[in-house]
Structure 1
Amino acid sequence: MRLYLTLFIIIILLIVAFIFGSQNDQSLTLNYLIARTEMTVAAAVSLFTTLGFFLGLLFALLWKLVRRIKPKKMLSDK
């Protein structure tokens, strides 16, 4: 049940972010270290929301993996 509630909240937050982004059709310039990109606010919000979601998911999975491996390693050392 907790998983479904978490997924529901994440989906609602993503929908709100994409709705917010779609209401802003202004153009902006993103300056990187070696490049410059011109895109709309909607595209930037979508890009960074998706990027943040996947980075958060990656770190959560890595954290879970490390916590699962660490106790096994400690038990094998004894």
Structure 2
Amino acid sequence: MKRFLTILITVLFFVVAVILGLKNQQLVTLHYLIAQNELRLSTLLAIIFSSGFLVAVCLASYFYLILKMRNRKLQKLNIKQRRELNDLRAKTEKD
């Protein structure tokens, strides 16, 4: 359900971006440090929206991988501690 809502919200953002792009067809002058360029506002919105989306996906993937690695490390520690606990319980039952 959570994944479905995430996909739905992402699709809604893309639809809103497309609608805004279709409504804004005027030319905009974009000044760089050494040059300038004229783009349609819809193209500029699409570029900025796509770059923001890619940055967000990269950051989310980075933090997701960190959490996965931390989770794997803690699971290994948990397994090790369970073995030690079972060994201690076995020793106390024998005595």
TM range (shorter): 0.7 to 0.9
Kindly state the Cα deviation for residue 22 of structure 1 after the two structures are TM-superposed: 1.2
Report the Cα distance in structure 1 between the residues aligned to 2:65 and 2:35, rounded to whole angstroms. 36
Greater mean deviation of Cα atoms: 63-72 or 48-57:
63-72
- TM-score of the two chains, using structure 1 as the length reference: 0.81
Q: Which has the higher contact order (CA 8 A, sep 6+)?
A: 1
Partner of 1:7: 7
Partner of 1:29: 29
Kindly state the Cα deviation for residue 33 of structure 1 after the two structures are TM-superposed: 2.6
Aligned-residue identity in percent? 31
**Larger Cα Rg: Structure 1 or Structure 2?**
2
Indicate the RMSD between aligned Cα atoms, in angstroms: 1.7
Structure 2 residue runs of 5 or longer lacking an equivalent are 78-95
Q: Deviations over 1:33-58 (max 9, x none)?
A: 33322101100111111111111011
Matched, 1:16 2:16: yes
1:1-78 equivalence runs, <5 A: 1-71=1-71, 72=73, 75=77
Report the Cα distance in structure 2 between the residues aligned to 1:3 and 1:70, rounded to whole angstroms. 22
Structure 1 residue runs of 5 or longer lacking an equivalent are none
- TM-score of the two chains, using structure 2 as the length reference: 0.68
Higher helix share: 2
Amino acid at match of 1:30: L
Report how many aligned residue pairs link the two structures: 74
Kindly state the Cα deviation for residue 18 of structure 1 after the two structures are TM-superposed: 1.3
